[in-house]
Amino acid sequence: MHDDGHRGRDAIIPPADAGVSFVMPVLNEAAYLERAVRSVLAQRLDAPFELILALGPSSDGTDAIASRLAGSDDRVRLVRNPAAHIPVGLNVAVRAARHPTVVRVDAHSELDPSYSADALATLARMRAANVGGVMRARGRTPFQRAVARAYNSRIGLGGGAYHGGTEEGPAESAYLGVMRRAVLDEVGLFDEGVRRGEDWELNLRIRRAGYRVWFDPALEVTYWPRESWTRLVRQFRATGSWRGELVRRFGRRNGLRFFAPPALVIGCGAAAVAAVLQLTGAVTGIAAAALSVVYLPVGAYVVLVTGVALGPGGGRGIRDKAWTLVVVPSMHLAWGVGFLQGIVRGAGGTVDTSRLHRNTPLP
């Protein structure tokens, strides 16, 4: 038992030279894959390591890039993920892994050279089963920068630890995650029936088994968000739908912050109904005045988002500020609509189509 006051089962620490397996699901990532792979290969580790790319049925030339990278460095290995789903690809890669520590990475992410060594040190120090840090979103265009600011803001994504937490400690989940393979084998790998939120669900099983999931704010990963409004909305609607599914399954184990976007959607719907009733004269007098109270939360939200967009946090240029004004409510409303759909009827076969190109076949 670890004696720092944080109760839980200790994960076994493998020998320092036992090696590390990085696993990365890949689908239509031609614009990002090479930089992501290069950042993994540049890790400063005093142990052997490999990078396993689980290739989905891409249609943008991703496979050619992956083959070239694997041909130029024998640390890069390729496995197939014909189902295209992220948890399936992760499981294919984990099963192919040769080393006792597994590091999840993303084709939209880039690691600092010391990231893995620092994470391994924290993993050993805490005898944790999984360690994660901060997702530090960045953008290249005004739109992508606006999305990045929303990701990095407490207002944008609800203040989860990995979106800007500053205090080290136990966590309900871990961004990407540096994991002990023995624990994964014990609790089971990623649930292939959970298309989004699969990391949260896995970490719930890890914590239920008594192990520690740990957040270390000293660990940062650069993340590049979606590049267009339509892809962003599709991504967030799918993510919200699966969170609704997870609430159906696990109820109160989901944090209260997950319920804010659906509350916003309901509030906007109530305000729209009130406006129709008032404008058509269906409700008049004192009743109409009383009904106006439903506008207050929506008005407060508009003021809040406008303040964020026009203030220092909204970016320097007018295009950045304008996109921030659009992006934040788009993320919240798309996520909230998806959540309500998921909690009412389940996520079913909902897929994150933001990862698919027009000519990519749906799995």
Same domain (yes/no): 37, 97 = yes
Residue 124's contacts (CB-CB under 8 Å, 6 or more residues apart) are 13
Looking at the predicted structure, is the pLDDT value of residue 92 above 80?
yes
- 348: domain range? 250-355
Q: Are residues 160 and 297 in the same domain?
A: no
Identify the helix (H) or strand (E) that includes residue 79: strand 76-80
CATH number of residue 115's parent domain = 3.90.550.10
Q: Do 270 and 339 share a structural domain?
A: yes
Q: Are residues 220 and 321 both part of a single domain?
A: no
Q: Do 200 and 151 share a structural domain?
A: yes
Judged against a pLDDT cut of 50, whether residue 363 lies above it is answered with: no
Q: How many domains does the chain divide into?
A: 2
> For tokens 């749906």, what's the residue?
362
Q: Are 66 and 195 in the same domain?
A: yes
Q: What is the DSSP letter of 362?
A: P
Q: 135-186 pLDDT, tens per residue? A: 999 999 999 999 999 998 878 775 555 555 678 999 999 999 999 999 999 9
Q: How far apart are CA 123 and CA 352, in angstroms?
A: 31
The answer to whether position 342 is within a domain reads yes
Cβ–Cβ under 8 Å, residues 118 and 218:
yes
Whether residue 363 lies inside any domain: the answer is no
pLDDT in tens, 160-173: 555 556 789 999 99
More confident residue, 233 or 6: 233
Check: CB of residue 104 under 8 Å from CB of residue 202: no
Longest dimension (CA), the chain: 77
Residues 6+ apart with CB under 8 A from 125: none
